[in-house]
Amino acid sequence: MSGKFAYDDDYYAWTREQARLLREAASERINTPIDWEHIAEELDIMGDQVRDAIESHLATVIEHLLKLEHSPDPYPRRKWRISVSKARRHLERKLLRHPSLKGWPAEALADAYADGRDDAVQDDSLEPDGLPRECPYTLDQIRDPDWWPASRHGLEG
């Protein structure tokens, strides 16, 4: 039952392939006491956690980019930049470790923006109506460690 995806090379692809192989094996071995379907479901869930982490890192980057651009508050800016840098690093590591998910950030961008925007408006200095309804940043900007939005309040950093 060896597959084409190696566990160490692309965990997400491996979980998907193993779940599929288990389901195929279950259909061939009806009388075995192994709970094939639930094991396959658990593998799917484990793979989904990788996608969820990528989406969460995207949302964090977006949240703090929005704060950097829209907030008039000068004090937490350094913390927001550090958070963006860290989330960008984590995002890139996940994508390197799981190459089959290289297209996932584009698919998840709208949902990640909704989450990041919702988190950003929890900041008392931001008005929900003052933030764009759709993501104003490109995926390249979100992922670029050297790109930062200009502050709408003329603040540095």
> What are 116-145's pLDDT values in tens digits?
999 999 988 898 899 999 999 999 999 999
Instruction: Please give the pLDDT value at position 53.
Output: 98
State the Cα–Cα distance between residues 94 and 49, nearest whole angstrom: 11
Give the pLDDT confidence score for residue 57 in this predicted structure. 98
> Which stretches of the chain drop beneath a pLDDT of 70?
1-3, 30-32
Q: Domain residues of the chain, as ranges? A: 11-143
- The topology under which CATH files domain 11-143 is Malate Synthase G; Chain: A; Domain 4 (1.20.1220)
Helical (H) or strand (E) element with 84: helix 77-97
DSSP state of 142: H
pLDDT of the residue at 3: 63
- pTM over 0.85, yes/no: yes
Q: What is the pLDDT of residue 132?
A: 96
